[in-house]
Structure 1
Amino acid sequence: MKKTSTFGIIHIGSIHTSMAIVKYHSPTQIEVIDSANKELPLGEEVFRTHRLSFASIHALSTILQGFRQLLLDYRVSEVYPIATTVVREAENRLGILDLLYMRTGFRFHVADMTEEVYYKFFALHHFLKKNEQVGTKPTLLLDVTSGGLGFTGWQDSTLLFQTNVTGGRLSVLEHFTEEERVSVMFPSAVRDYLHASLSSLWPRIEHADIHTLVLTGFEARILVSHLLGSAAEYPAVIAPEEFLQIMESLMPLTAHKLMQVFDISERRAQLLLPTLLLYEEVVRTLNIDTILVMNTTFLYGYAAWCGAQRISPSAISEQADLLLDLARSTAMRYNCNLPHISRIDEYATKLFDGLRRVHGLSTRHRLLLRMSALLHETGKFVNLRNYPLHSWQIIMGTDIFGITDAEKEVIACISYYYHRDNPGKKDVHYQRLTQDQKIIADKCCAILRLADALDQGHSGRIQDLSVRLVKEKLYVNYTSEYDISLIRWSFAQASVLFREIFGIEPVLRRK
């Protein structure tokens, strides 16, 4: 019998606070049992004052208390509350989260920008890979949030690139005063602002020769409703020429005109204006052939992710492979030795799996270890001297798709300490970590250090590696036709931290 899972999802957004009770079957089959959506424009307040007032928190608490009652009525106990831009950008974020917990009992996870874009992609990817006409040619998934823009390139189930920039619909508006927004020159100023903000991004995206632009969000759905009316079905196709004709017909582009043409409120019109100009910038710059509009919401994307975590391990594993491919592309961009990092990835994975009974780490930590293996030498691109520090800086300065900021800190520290002295109280990078992060970093660092020792000299002299744990010894068995003296000496040095962390003696043994 096919597994299902019923749970609740709550999302605090910049404009709406939403809830859905869903029955999850697969990433592309999620049944919505009931839902609720309350408009509460918190984003404007946060972008203007950088805080949420007590009055706003009180209003939010009231909405969430109503959601809790609905969940109780349906006897749903498993709930995944998440907040995005509006809480992430608020200076009183910790106070907001504490008050919401005290008043509602919900502990909200605050998604990073990269994480926020990833959840939407998770659901979109599973939908699009079923469509034979989409994805065979380079496809750009454009996600417009209140605080940023996500650009994800995809082809043949492979991630081509992923990058995020500031400049979401609300953050664009907040660059201009109320007086400037009603000026007839406002659309022109926004065009110039977007062009300048994104100009450095285009060379990399243009190189991918994008064929299809995939849009989501209420702005894209407004366009579809305008063109196709109530008969609109998703995914909906819009010809780029048709979109540009709409833009021409809207001149002069003002919020008042958008209210009339699309029959929307003033607030929605103000948010639609910068988004339409962004779409225009992308279509004109990249010479898109097709625009595909999906009705996938953030709430649906997050439900797909949460459900997959519960009962669809194959979907999670497939996404992990995509993220690792993207990490390899990042490593190649920094001229890393691909055969070497691939061997380290293989060795580290085998060591991790061989220690499964004793290391106490999860499948997610396995992914972080593999990311570290692929990115641990990126710093050599900057300077061979003290390159682990440069690797740490590169990793911390890079948006790693599908990885939270807290997880990225772990990856950066593993990559930093694998080739240095053991981390301690005086290490600044290490002290940034929480207690749980330190434990994960210590264990993964010990494994990566041992894996790297197995390819000292970057010569690939170790073949047919297998790992077996017997009582308090980890036998690392191999075949080789070469002298591996350097590897043996390096392995012995790396074993010191390994023994200290796991209490297990690693033994390098020829088959």
Structure 2
Amino acid sequence: MAATEQGFVVIGAQSTLFSITNLRTMETIERGQYPVAIGEDIFATHQIEPDTVDTLVAALAAIARVFADYGVTKLSVVGSHSFYEAHNAQFVRDQILSRTGWQLQPLTLSQESFYRTQAVLAKFPNFSAVTQDGTLLIDISSGSVELTAFTQGEFGFSRNLSIGPLRVFEVMSDLQRSVPNYVAVMRDYIDSRLVDFMRLLPKDIHYPNLVLMGSALSMFETLIPTGDVTVETDSEGLALIYHEVTHASDQYLSDQYDLTPTQTAQVLPTVLLVYRLVQVLKSSRLWISNLKLIDGLEINTAVAANSPAVTIDPTKEILISAQNLSERYQVDIKHRDSTVTFALQLFDRLRRLHGLGRRERLLLQIAATVNDIGSYVDTHKHYEHSDYIIQASELMGLTAAEQRMVATIARYHSSDTPQTDLSDLRELNSRRRLVIAKLSALLRVADSLDASRQQKIQKIRVSVQPTRVLLSATANDDVALEKWTLRRKGQFFAAVFGLPIELKGRTRV
């Protein structure tokens, strides 16, 4: 098997999916799934039961035989966020490792959102043209719903809600036999969870288009012709489905759409959610897509491998997500942009000094974008507030460790300084601690260059000399405050890189 072909496995709430993909051409060599419904255990008891673990391991063993038949040796095996909601998830993860030899990688909600968005950007037909008008991507998995807004062909923002259909069914199952108006109660429950998302939508943008995708769309997927990625319908077509589902028995739905009992239980909450969004947003066009999380995982891996078959920019949505977070907390936009510019210039011109790569550059750019959001809570020790807000937020596309790193870099961009031996960062491994120190040092310098918040410095030249790093600034005003600030905040730069850093300013007349 060619080195460009890789195996992928995604353990989701309802099934375990696998694929073999040629990363150079994005050709799917093999794809399939095993119906292992760990979500039934998780949402009912918060545990993955031993019998379910045995079934999951058997499915993974079968997938391993398929990979072996194709000669696939390079694998990516991930567990969805739903998997890690189980209280015994770490124990199950260890059992999978010991019984299959596969190391299961966790996904955060923001990573899942990122991968699904990548799948749509790369594979949805004419997506750029569709999203010129307001478009809402609705990804429905068993445990959660990801709502992602696009307008004028660009990503807007994303929000995850814990109203996946299987979760809703488990939460409300005791009501089904005790209330006469079960559909109305479930509708009210879903509406109550949509309130926060609707509040975030820009008031001046209409969303006529909805794109529906996800692992919980068993009934909708029967409407997609074999070989197609998407099918288009309208609000009237959805209204007919809504009328059918709200008046049909579970047995009828199961027989009509060839659904398992678990899939049948999710039909009503799924249709209710989509129908309510169509009504509230006054949407007129609906696309149903069979794209899934595994498609985005393939795309992202291909991008990392510099595949010529994928042309999307993998960082664009990540940076927009960070900018949205900074604007939500009303940072000083001009200072933010100035700090980002200086931080990236320092990173690029001091590569031989820090030895870091593209991913670390992205983390610095994100940290420079969001480092001041804590001022929304209190300007006093705002860096501490920035730390916990970032950790509690959804930054699209970052791993849990990377989000922790960004939060820590933001914390140390101001007067708070990590201990010289980095002993206060022991929860992170030694490499990540060193990266945090280097990026924090660069961000402290960048922030100092606009200490007055007046953008006095138009450009800088960076010179690495035997005994110092010299910044030569061209400014439109006196930069005495910036020099004084850098003398204080630049001490950590000297500790990390072994060279003091100085600012020399030249005022442009």
The reply to whether TM is greater than 0.5 is yes
Match of 1:196 in 2: 192
Write out aligned runs for 1:440-459 (5 A): 440-459=435-454
Sort the Cα spacing of 1:179 and 1:95 in 2 relative to 1 into closer, same or farther, 3 A: same
Sort the Cα spacing of 1:454 and 1:75 in 2 relative to 1 into closer, same or farther, 3 A: same
* Structure 1 residue 372 displacement after superposition: 1.1
How many Å separate the matches in 2 of 1:325 and 1:310?
23
Match of 2:220 in 1: 223
Sort the Cα spacing of 1:179 and 1:327 in 2 relative to 1 into closer, same or farther, 3 A: closer
Which one of 26, 51, 58 corresponds to residue 55 of structure 1?
A: 51
Match of 1:17 in 2: 16
Match of 2:348 in 1: 353
Sort the Cα spacing of 1:250 and 1:75 in 2 relative to 1 into closer, same or farther, 3 A: closer
Sort the Cα spacing of 1:183 and 1:19 in 2 relative to 1 into closer, same or farther, 3 A: farther
* Structure 1 residue 180 displacement after superposition: 2.8
Which one of 234, 243, 248 corresponds to residue 248 of structure 1?
A: 243
* Structure 1 residue 253 displacement after superposition: 4.6
| Contact kept? 2:245, 2:268, Cα under 8 Å | no
The one-letter code sitting in structure 2 at the alignment partner of 1:406 is: A
Sort the Cα spacing of 1:155 and 1:128 in 2 relative to 1 into closer, same or farther, 3 A: farther
| Contact kept? 2:141, 2:216, Cα under 8 Å | no
SS at 2:6 equivalent: strand
Match of 2:271 in 1: 276
Which one of 20, 30, 47 corresponds to residue 34 of structure 1?
A: 30
Write out aligned runs for 1:54-453 (5 A): 54-128=50-124, 130-131=126-127, 133-177=129-173, 180=176, 185-205=181-201, 207=203, 208-217=205-214, 219-220=216-217, 222-223=219-220, 225-226=222-223, 230=225, 233-312=228-307, 318-424=313-419, 430=425, 432-453=427-448
The one-letter code sitting in structure 1 at the alignment partner of 2:403 is: K
With normalisation by structure 2, the TM-score equals 0.91
How many Å separate the matches in 2 of 1:413 and 1:314?
36
| Contact kept? 1:97, 1:108, Cα under 8 Å | yes
How many Å separate the matches in 2 of 1:447 and 1:316?
31
* Structure 1 residue 196 displacement after superposition: 1.1
How many Å separate the matches in 2 of 1:252 and 1:429?
60
How many Å separate the matches in 2 of 1:115 and 1:39?
23
The one-letter code sitting in structure 1 at the alignment partner of 2:356 is: L
Sort the Cα spacing of 1:250 and 1:61 in 2 relative to 1 into closer, same or farther, 3 A: closer
SS at 1:142 equivalent: strand
| Contact kept? 1:380, 1:390, Cα under 8 Å | yes
The one-letter code sitting in structure 2 at the alignment partner of 1:297 is: K
* Structure 1 residue 194 displacement after superposition: 0.5
Q: Deviations over 1:407-431 (max 9, x none)?
A: 2221111111211231239999845
How many Å separate the matches in 1 of 2:308 and 2:406?
23
SS at 1:37 equivalent: strand
* Structure 1 residue 270 displacement after superposition: 0.8
| Contact kept? 1:238, 1:290, Cα under 8 Å | yes
How many Å separate the matches in 1 of 2:227 and 2:303?
29
Sort the Cα spacing of 1:273 and 1:175 in 2 relative to 1 into closer, same or farther, 3 A: same
How many Å separate the matches in 1 of 2:49 and 2:321?
40
How many Å separate the matches in 2 of 1:462 and 1:128?
44
Range that drifts further, 105-114 or 423-432? 423-432
How many Å separate the matches in 2 of 1:68 and 1:320?
32
State, as a whole percentage, how many aligned pairs show the same letter. 24
1:474 aligns with 2:469: yes
* Structure 1 residue 237 displacement after superposition: 0.8
The one-letter code sitting in structure 2 at the alignment partner of 1:449 is: R
Match of 2:7 in 1: 8
| Contact kept? 2:254, 2:260, Cα under 8 Å | yes
* Structure 1 residue 101 displacement after superposition: 1.1
* Structure 1 residue 186 displacement after superposition: 3.0
With normalisation by structure 1, the TM-score equals 0.91
How many Å separate the matches in 2 of 1:276 and 1:307?
34
Range that drifts further, 82-91 or 120-129? 120-129
* Structure 1 residue 120 displacement after superposition: 0.9
* Structure 1 residue 243 displacement after superposition: 0.5
Paired positions, count: 504
